[in-house]
Amino acid sequence: MGGVPLLRRGGRAGLGLLLPLLLAIGWEIAVATGLASGRLLPPPSRIGATLWELAASGDLWMHVEATLIRVGLGFLFGAAAGILAGALVATIPVLRWLVDPSLQALRAVPSLAWVPLFILWFGILETPKVLLIAVGVFFPVYVGVSGAIASVDRKLVEVGRIFRLSRPALARRILLPAVLPATLVGLRTGLGLGFLFVVAAELMGASEGLGYLLVDGQQFSKPDQIVAAIIAFALVGKLADMALVTLTLPLTRWQDTARDSL
Amino acid sequence: MLVIDDLSKTYADGTRALEAIGLSVKQGEIVALIGGSGCGKTTLLRLIAGLDQASRGFVQVDGETIAEPHPSVGVVFQEPRLLPWLNVADNVGFGLSGLGRSERRARVTHALERIGLAEHGGRWPRELSGGQQQRVAIARAFVAQPRVLLLDEPFSALDAFTRKGLHDQLLDLWAESKPTIVIVTHDVGEAVTLADRVVVMRPRPGRLDETVAIGLARPRDPVAATYEEAVRRVLAALDHSLRPAAANRPPAPETRASWW
């Protein structure tokens, strides 16, 4: 049963690549034949060469590393805070009535609006950058965790009561596995937002990082560097997402079996 | 010995769910509670299980009063309620965390064999059919070796063929350790197939009405004249419980229709 849809899916993915490939080749030809200057949008070959140069000189890795450290730290703090706040708010009603409305209001603030305030408070070094990313990561994780805990099946909790599980055992053997899938979805969304926000954070002033490559490319009119940085962002973000999914896959295998057998 | 005395449950809004229930069940006896919806069958079961608190009266198992879930009392719910993140074997052994690994494995393996799922220990609950899942739930209750086992309409979601097979397996497991069983059902055939005694309940407030002793040897033959006769006696008792008592409103016609 698995073979035919898989093949069809592979075929569709290939079909999806067709349009960008055609456009890239078309643009390459247009610039090569002098139909277009390629000054504002360099042809793929030049972007590739720039990317290669950056990689060969080691600059690319330095920038990737700087960006990854920021996202990593922001993700760590934001996710930890989100899990903690989500768990507390979902389990303590008073806290929910007290804190949740404020958090929901803050969630509605476009996160870039914090940038000036953070710069004012923390300067332009690493602190405001990591903090901004953490804010971006916090909310999806918070919403995911608190929602998951609130919707844990009471009937399964009752099974725990029948077998007289202590409160810690109930948390470990029933609540934790029950909220894990939604928590992981929250973490994944959070990681995606982390990469979104690291750009904003690095745009506010940085001397390294992929975001810096963007600003630098704009200021010195190097569109090939801008596009190279965009491609690097896409690759790094995708790889980080894949790493997160792969690392957490064993935890939700009981859920994924259904998807596998489709 | 399961003893229920003067057991009453009134909810905070004043609804009287159960009124002065008194029932004694010998060790190893199977009692079926039967009646229409709203007569407190599930409420009674939850009180015996210690999942809810009685407003008055008490439940005792071997002289010990039940106020919260107790190791001697096992429950099989209407839905299987398996933990989806544990495989079948781990679900069966869920309540055995106090035991050593080898003892736990031995009990789980034995139970899986008895319910015909020996090959399925490593599968996820969602890969099983509804009937198989309910068998796992029954095994999970039995491996804890309860003195009293409570079943709340455990087969109501299953088709007649599956149900028949599960009756046999339930009786098989019961014959091994002879726990006291209280099973809630609204299926007269199921009650007569399984129970030594069928207790009919009346609604608003929930009370015990007539008791029908079945007194047939096991295994029971559903086409035997004695079986037919037992079914007729339970139906008669049910019919009688629908007649309004002196102070009661007449029963609504739709409750009458929903029974069999």
- From B49, B74, B85, residue closest to A177, measured CB to CB: B85
pLDDT at B245: 59
- % of chain A beyond a pLDDT of 90: 36
Alpha carbon B69 to chain centroid, angstroms: 16
Question: What Å distances lie between residue B52 and A158, A187, A235, B44, B254, CA to CA?
Answer: 11, 37, 56, 9, 29
Cα B198 to Cα B219: distance, rounded to the nearest angstrom: 17
What are the tokens at A213?
A: 């490559």
Cα A152 to Cα A155: distance, rounded to the nearest angstrom: 9
β partners of residue B148: B73, B180
pLDDT at B259: 45
- The type of residue at B93 is G
| Every domain of chain A and the residues it spans | 8-37, 41-254
For A164, the closest chain B residue by CA position comes to: B69
Cα A259 to Cα B18: distance, rounded to the nearest angstrom: 46
Q: What is the pLDDT of residues B213-240, one digit of tens each?
A: 888 888 888 888 888 888 889 998 888 8
What are the tokens at B9?
A: 């449950």
Poorest-pLDDT segment among A56-70, A153-167, A187-201, B198-212 = B198-212
pLDDT at B254: 47
Cα A248 to Cα B103: distance, rounded to the nearest angstrom: 32
Q: Which of B114, B116, B117, B130 is nearest to B89 (CA)?
A: B117
Q: What is the DSSP string of chain B?
A: -EEEEEEEEE-TTS-EEEEEEEEEE-TT-EEEEE--TTSSHHHHHHHHHTSS--SEEEEEETTEEPSS--TTEEEE-SS----TTS-HHHHHTGGGTTS-HHHHHHHHHHHHHHTT-GGGTTS-GGGS-HHHHHHHHHHHHHHT--SEEEEESTTTTS-HHHHHHHHHHHHHHHHHH--EEEEEES-HHHHHHH-SEEEEEETTTBEEEEEEE---PSSP-TTSHHHHHHHHHHHHHHHHHHSPPTTSPPPPHHHHHT--
- The type of residue at B221 is D
Residue A10 has pLDDT above 70, yes or no: no
Segments of chain B scoring below 70 in pLDDT? 244-260
Contacts of residue A168 in chain B, CB cutoff 8 Å? none
Per-window interface: A 186-245 vs B, CB < 8 A: none
β partners of residue B151: B76, B183
Cα B61 to Cα B63: distance, rounded to the nearest angstrom: 5
**A41-254: CATH topology:** MetI-like fold (1.10.3720)
How high is the mean pLDDT of chain B? 86
As a three-state string, the secondary structure of B130-156 is HHHHHHHHHHHHHHCCCCEEEEECCCC
Contacts of residue B77 in chain A, CB cutoff 8 Å? 155, 158-159
Q: What is the pTM of this model?
A: 0.79
- From A162, A255, A258, residue closest to B69, measured CB to CB: A162
- Subunit contact B86:A254, Cβ cutoff 8 A: yes
**A251 DSSP 8-state letter:** G
Q: How confident is the model at residue A260 (pLDDT cuts 50, 70, 90)?
A: very low
Residues contacting residue A106 through CB under 8 Å, at least 6 positions apart: A139
Contact B236, B34 (CB under 8 A): no
What are the tokens at B202?
A: 């009346």
Residue A3 has pLDDT above 70, yes or no: no
Rg (CA), chain B: 19
- From B69, B77, B81, residue closest to A164, measured CB to CB: B69
Q: What is the pLDDT of residues A106-152, one digit of tens each?
A: 988 887 888 888 888 988 788 888 999 999 999 999 999 999 998 89
Contact B94, B140 (CB under 8 A): yes
The answer to whether B92 faces chain A, any CB pair under 8 Å, is: no
For B93, the closest chain A residue by CA position comes to: A163
Burial of A12 (0-12, 13-18, 19+ CB in 10 A): exposed
Contacts of residue A158 in chain B, CB cutoff 8 Å? 51, 77, 81
CA distance A261 to chain B (A): 10
Q: Which of B214, B179, B224, B208 is nearest to B194 (CA)?
A: B214
Question: Within a 13 Å sphere around the CA of A98, how many CA atoms are in the beta-carbon half?
Answer: 8
Domains of chain B: 2-206 (3.40.50.300)
Length of chain B counted residue by residue: 260
pLDDT at B255: 46
pLDDT at A256: 61
Q: How confident is the model at residue A261 (pLDDT cuts 50, 70, 90)?
A: very low
